[in-house]
Amino acid sequence: MYIVHDEAQLIRDCQQENVEAQKYLYEQYAQKMMGVCYRYVNDYETARDLLHDGFIKVFRYIRSFQGEGSFEGWMRRVFVTTALEYLRRNDVMNEHADLSNLFDVKSEDESIMERLSADELREIIGSLPTGFRTVFNLYAVEGYSHKEIAAMLGITESTSRSQFARAKTLLRQKIRTLYG
């Protein structure tokens, strides 16, 4: 039975490749990181694969974590990067949707969004085209700037803005259709 007093000790033990500590860390964060992966790929089994790939990286590179900033933030970045690598590798970033029927949305949609649960929102985000979904997740949920997103995805800043604007519009349209 592994007993840990604080996060710093847990990290130290993981850096020394203590398997019990690694298991403890996995159990502590797996479900949360699964939530991150699931938002990007919208497929449970694929998200689980990404979760495993992400943890392999976490345990491989945990020595590089020097205690600067939050450990959870560091892990989250690892999982986001893992998901982006998957999307890029499978060339799904270039999927496009027919947006010819988009219409402007009004502020009353915001109150609907506030009432929705995280699961419901994830489902709606998951139904967006991959490019839109990725940029939306990075910008609205992770809090990256368009400049950072452009560098992460290998696109231009303006493309990131465009994808986000379209994702936003499409998301509101879906919310109105489903819950309005």
Partner 1 sequence: MANRDDQYLRQLFSQKFEHYDVRLPDEDWEMFVAKRRVAQERHRRALIVRWLAAACLISLMIGGFSALFFHHEVQQPMVSTLSPSSLKIAVKHQNQVLLSSKSIKKGKLVLANATPVVSEPFNSSALHSSVSTLQEKCVGLQQNLNKPLNANKIMFPSSIALVENITNGVSEALAAQFVEKITSEQDSAAQMQHLENLPELPSLADQNHSTNTTKHHSSVGWLALHVQGNNGLPTNFSNANAWMQPASLDYRLLTQVNRNAAPVQHASSSSQMITFIDKKTYAFPISWGVTFSQPLLSRWDLQTGLSFTQLVTTGEVTSTLSNRATGRIEQNYLGIPIKIAYSFVNQPSFSLYVSSGGSIEKGVSLVEKIYNYNSQNAAILQDSYSTGIHGFQFSLDANVGATYRLYRFLFIYMETGGAYYIPCDQPESYRTVHPVSVSLKFGLQFKLYHK
Binding site for partner 1 (CB under 8 A): 23, 26-27, 30-32, 34-35, 38-39, 44, 47-48, 51-53, 55-56, 59-60, 96, 110, 113-114, 116-119, 121-122, 139-141, 143, 146, 151, 154-159, 161-162, 164-166, 168
Helix (H) or strand (E) holding 87: helix 71-89
Nearer to partner 1, 42 or 65 (CB): 42
Structure tokens at 149: 């997103």
Of the two residues 7 and 157, which places its CB atom closer to partner 1 in the complex? 157
- Name the phi and psi angles at 59, rounded to 5: -70, -30
- Reference 98, options 154, 169, 155; nearest CA is 169
CB of 27 or CB of 67, closer to partner 1: 27
Q: How far apart are CA 86 and CA 80, in angstroms?
A: 10
For 121-140, give one letter per residue: b (16+ CB within 10 A) or e.
Answer: ebebbbebbbbbbbbbbbbe
Distance (Å, whole) CA 129 – CA 127 = 7
Q: Tell me the closest approach of the beta carbon of residue 130 to partner 1, in angstroms.
A: 14
At 156, give phi and psi (nearest 5°).
Answer: -90, 160
- Give least dist CB 42 to partner 1, A: 12
CB of 155 to partner 1, least distance (A): 6
* Shortest Cβ 39–partner 1 spacing (Å): 7
Least distance (Å) between residue 22 CB and partner 1 = 9
